[in-house]
């Protein structure tokens, strides 16, 4: 039988390490928000949203000269993991079982919010739909898969 283990660490970084971690977290948040905007456009066109489709778009994002900081202040694995998290958030949104559980917990309906696409149309943001991340949220996180390779 195979056991999977996960470890959580509390970090106490030096000033230089804190700058590096802030750059990693900031670039991961940027990629999440940018890929979320792309996936909203895919959702409007009724295209299939999955991890493979979104991960393939990271290379084009990194090659854009406006986003050159993604090459210097981030690593590819962290960005891919963030995009995979986004894809799993979309799969939860499309899961009918999760929507059934949401209907059981009836709450007061909120005022609808909208996201404006590049072509000018708007999409209504629904419950369980992935949301944009903000620096002020205080919930910054990244996942390092190959810890020995990226953390010295």
pLDDT digits (tens, 9 = 90+) for 129-148: 888 888 888 778 888 777 66
Q: pLDDT tens digit string along 2-20?
A: 888 888 778 788 999 888 8
> What pLDDT score was predicted for residue 15?
93
CA atoms within 13 A on the CB side of 106: 0
Contacts of 131 (CB under 8 A, 6+ apart): 36, 125
Residue-number span of the structural domain to which 80 is assigned: 15-150
Residue 8 falls inside a structural domain: no
Residue 52: both structure tokens together: 């493979």
> What pLDDT score was predicted for residue 13?
87
Beta bridge partners of 16: none
Q: Which residue has the higher pLDDT, 73 or 36?
A: 36
Residue 10 falls inside a structural domain: no
Give SS3 for 135.
Answer: helix
Tell me the whole-structure pTM to 2 decimals: 0.81
Q: Confidence band (pLDDT; 50, 70, 90) for 29?
A: very high
Q: At what angle do helices 15-44 and 76-94 cross, to 10 degrees?
A: 40
Instruction: Using the structure block, give the residue that is written with the tokens 């750059």.
Output: 23
Q: Which residue has the higher pLDDT, 145 or 29?
A: 29
Contacts of 102 (CB under 8 A, 6+ apart): 127, 128
Residue 2 falls inside a structural domain: no
Contact indicator for 130, 36 with CB cutoff of 8 Å: yes
Residue 44 falls inside a structural domain: yes
Contact indicator for 55, 90 with CB cutoff of 8 Å: no
Residue 70: both structure tokens together: 């993604």
Q: pLDDT tens digit string along 111-129?
A: 777 778 878 888 777 778 8
Residue 4 falls inside a structural domain: no
Instruction: Using the structure block, give the residue that is written with the tokens 């559980």.
Output: 101
Instruction: Using the structure block, give the residue that is written with the tokens 């792309």.
Output: 38
Residue 43 falls inside a structural domain: yes
DSSP 45: T
Residue 112 falls inside a structural domain: yes
The structural domain count of the chain equals 1
């Amino acid at each position: 039988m195979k056991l999977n283990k996960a470890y959580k660490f509390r970090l106490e970084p030096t000033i230089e390490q804190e700058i590096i971690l802030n750059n990693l977290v900031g670039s991961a948040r940027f990629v999440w928000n940018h890929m979320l905007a792309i996936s909203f456009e895919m959702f409007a066109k009724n295209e299939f949203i999955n991890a493979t489709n979104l991960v393939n778009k990271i290379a084009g994002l990194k090659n854009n000269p406006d986003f050159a900081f993604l090459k210097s202040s981030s690593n590819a694995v962290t960005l891919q993991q963030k995009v995979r998290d986004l894809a799993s958030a979309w799969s939860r949104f499309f899961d009918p079982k999760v929507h059934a559980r949401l209907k059981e917990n009836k709450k007061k309906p909120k005022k609808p919010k909208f996201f404006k696409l590049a072509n000018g149309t708007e999409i209504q943001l629904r419950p369980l739909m992935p949301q944009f991340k903000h620096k002020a949220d205080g919930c910054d996180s990244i996942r390092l898969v190959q810890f020995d390779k990226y953390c010295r």
